[in-house]
Amino acid sequence: MSDRKRTENFREHLGNVSEKGKRIWLYPKIIKGDLYKYRTWVSWVLLTFLFAGPFIKIQGRPFLLLNFVDREFVIFGTPFWPQDFFILAVALLTFILFIVLFTVIFGRVWCGWACPQTIFMEMVFRKIESWIEGNANKQRKLDDMPWNWEKVKKKGLKHIIFYLISFLIANIFLAYIIGSEALIEIITEPVSEHIVGFTSILVFSFVFYMVFAKLRELVCIMICPYGRLQGVMLDRNSIVVAYDNIRGEPRGKIRKNQDQSDKGDCIDCGLCVDVCPTGIDIRNGTQLECVNCTICIDACDSVMDKIKKPRGLIRFDSVENIENGIGFRWTTRIKAYIAVLVLLIGVFVAILATRSEFKAVLLRTPGTTPVVDQQGFVSNSYTMELVNKTYDDIRYNIKILNFDGANLIIPDNNGLLKGGKVEKKVLMIRIPHDMINSNRTTLEIEIERPDIGDTEVFETVFLSPLKRKE
CA angle 220, 116, 104 (to 5 degrees): 60
Q: Segment 437-456, which members bind ligand SF4 (CB under 6 A)? A: none
**SS3 for 110-152, per residue?**
HHHHCCHHHHHHHHHHHHHHHHHHCCHHHHHHHHHCCCCHHHH
The shares of helix, strand and coil residues in the chain, as percent rounded to the nearest 5, are 45, 20, 35
Binding range to ligand SF4, per CB under 6 A, among 157-165, 299-307, 363-371, 405-413: 299-307
Confirm or reject binding of residue 272 to ligand SF4 (CB under 6 A). yes
Q: Which of 50, 121, 266, 322 binds ligand SF4 (CB under 6 A)?
A: 266
280 in Cβ contact with 270 (< 8 Å): no
Binding range to ligand SF4, per CB under 6 A, among 116-124, 136-144, 169-177, 288-296: 288-296
Binding range to ligand SF4, per CB under 6 A, among 188-196, 295-303, 337-345, 372-380: 295-303
Least Å distance between CB 221 and ligand SF4? 10
Confirm or reject binding of residue 319 to ligand SF4 (CB under 6 A). no
Binding range to ligand SF4, per CB under 6 A, among 127-135, 269-277, 327-335, 376-384: 269-277
Q: Which of 50, 221, 242, 314 binds ligand SF4 (CB under 6 A)?
A: 314
Binding range to ligand SF4, per CB under 6 A, among 35-43, 48-56, 284-292, 444-452: 284-292
x/- mask, ligand SF4, residues 216-245, rule CB under 6 A, reads -------------------------x-x--
Q: How many residues bind ligand SF4 (CB under 6 A)?
A: 29
Q: Which is nearer to ligand SF4, 28 or 179 (CB)?
A: 28
Q: Which of 35, 165, 169, 276 binds ligand SF4 (CB under 6 A)?
A: 276
Question: Is the Cα torsion angle 236, 239, 240, 243 positive or negative in sign?
Answer: positive
81 in Cβ contact with 72 (< 8 Å): yes
Least Å distance between CB 21 and ligand SF4? 22
First CA to last CA distance, the chain: 107
Q: Which is nearer to ligand SF4, 241 or 362 (CB)?
A: 241
Confirm or reject binding of residue 300 to ligand SF4 (CB under 6 A). yes
Least Å distance between CB 12 and ligand SF4? 18
Confirm or reject binding of residue 295 to ligand SF4 (CB under 6 A). yes
Confirm or reject binding of residue 294 to ligand SF4 (CB under 6 A). yes
Q: Which is nearer to ligand SF4, 67 or 302 (CB)?
A: 302
Which run of H or E residues covers position 387?
A: strand 377-388
CA angle 407, 408, 411 (to 5 degrees): 130
Cα separation, 286 vs 95, in Å, equals 25
Could you tell me how many residues make up the chain?
470
107 in Cβ contact with 238 (< 8 Å): yes
CA-nearest of 137, 288, 294 to 217 is 288
Q: Which of 290, 322, 406, 436 binds ligand SF4 (CB under 6 A)?
A: 290
Q: Which of 186, 211, 242, 280 binds ligand SF4 (CB under 6 A)?
A: 280
Least Å distance between CB 287 and ligand SF4? 7
347 in Cβ contact with 274 (< 8 Å): no
Confirm or reject binding of residue 109 to ligand SF4 (CB under 6 A). no
x/- mask, ligand SF4, residues 41-80, rule CB under 6 A, reads ----------------------------------------
Backbone angles phi, psi at 110, to 5 degrees: -50, -45
Confirm or reject binding of residue 385 to ligand SF4 (CB under 6 A). no
Least Å distance between CB 331 and ligand SF4? 22
What letters, b where the CB count within 10 A reaches 16 and e where it falls short, cover 4-41? eebbeebeeebbbbeeeeeeeebbbbbbebebbeebee
Strand partners, 416: 395
Cα separation, 276 vs 282, in Å, equals 9
31 in Cβ contact with 298 (< 8 Å): yes
Residues near ligand SF4, by CB under 6 A: 241, 243, 248, 266-272, 275-278, 280, 282-283, 290-296, 299-300, 303, 313-314
